[in-house]
Amino acid sequence: MDLSAINPLVLITTLMIAATPILLAALGELVVEKSGVLNLGVEGMMITGAICGFAIAVETGNPAIGMLAAMVGGAMLSLIFAFLTQILLANQVATGLALTLFGLGLSSLLGQGYVGVKPPSTPKIEIPLLADLPIVGPVLFQHDMVVYFSIFMVVVIWATLKYSRLGLVLRAVGESHDAAHALGYKVVRIRIMAIMFGGAMAGLGGAYLSLVRVPQWVDGMTAGAGWIALAIVVFASWRAGRVLLGAYLFGGVTILQLNLQAAGVNLPVEYLSMSPYLITILVLVIMSAKGGRAALGAPAALGRVFHASS
């Protein structure tokens, strides 16, 4: 065993990359749930974003355009969910699950011609001056644009929800859609916008996987990342800052177990592979033991169907 072989600085850099897809998807889902909608289709939107982004990046040779296409793709797919649950008032849980299955199949179909193709590489952006700082520089300021964007979005979503009028309206819709409706807010319209935002963020998360982290298109390559994003929203008790913490914790455990193996730590590999999932379950159990949904901070109208009766 040689733990000194593990460089903590490099470990942090890679865990940021590993955590970015789930961070983006979880942030999107956070906004969706804050508006009172439970969309379990995150996995489907991620994988659709992964292939849309990959295909467009390969065709145009520009990863940035690919990322944008991924956001559009994810948002388009989420529109199906929005139409079914907000206009036709379908059950959100069932529709979300269907969206995941649909997204996995659709992405496999779209990806037929892109298996084994190499995507254009996404450039790393070194922030001037800051990137040259000792220790902190290489760890924090030499990433690609999506990593910066994900952290930027944590701040934006936190500030918007906490301080802006838009955030207040969104939360009002999520806490009590009847009261918000009585005040004259367009509940359905606001929720559809939130769902599309969630789709776009999940799509970008998926594209980060296919364009940067792997970088390749493979059927089913999200491999459950969407479900972890959903768990992280609960883990974070619907707070943006804690979503960041949760995503990095999860990314950290995944990367650490591979590093421990490489360092020859004498632990059973099966348990190491299991550990991220075990920790997620453990956190969920501990958090839910403290009380009901209210104690967790869940939006009161989460998952409830809204029908304007008057």
Q: Choose between 127 and 214: whose C-beta lies nearer to other proteins.
A: 214
Closer residue to other proteins (CB): 83 or 114: 114
Minimum distance, C-beta of residue 18 to other proteins, in the bound complex (Å) = 6
DSSP states of 124-156: EEEPTTGGGSTTHHHHHSEEEHHHHHHHHHHHH
CB 138 within 8 A of CB 9: yes
Check if the beta carbon of residue 247 is closer than 8 Å to that of residue 225.
no
- State whether the Cα torsion 133-135-139-142 is positive or negative: positive
Q: Least distance in Å: CB of 139 to other proteins?
A: 13
In the complex, what is the shortest distance from the CB of residue 11 to other proteins, in angstroms, rounded to a whole number? 7
DSSP 96-130: HHHHHHHHHHHHHHHGGGGTTPPPPPPPEEEPTTG
Nearer to other proteins, 92 or 254 (CB): 254
User: Cβ 30 to other proteins, closest distance in Å?
Assistant: 23
Contact 74, 202 (CB under 8 A): yes
- What the block records as the tokens of 184 is 């004259």
Q: How far is the CB of 242 from other proteins (least distance, A)?
A: 24
Tokens encoding 122: 């996404």
Q: Tell me which residue of 211, 210, 253 sits closest to 228, measured CA to CA.
A: 253
Nearest distance, CB of residue 251 and other proteins, angstroms: 10
Residue closer to other proteins, measured from CB, 82 or 212: 212
Residue (118 or 165) nearer to other proteins, CB: 118
Supply the Cα-derived Rg of the chain in whole angstroms: 20
Q: What are phi and psi of 300, to 5 degrees?
A: -65, -35
Binding site for other proteins (CB under 8 A): 5-7, 10-11, 14, 18, 115-116, 118, 121, 209, 213-216, 218-221, 223, 254-255, 258-259, 261-264, 266, 268-270, 273
Q: Which is nearer to other proteins, 217 or 238 (CB)?
A: 217
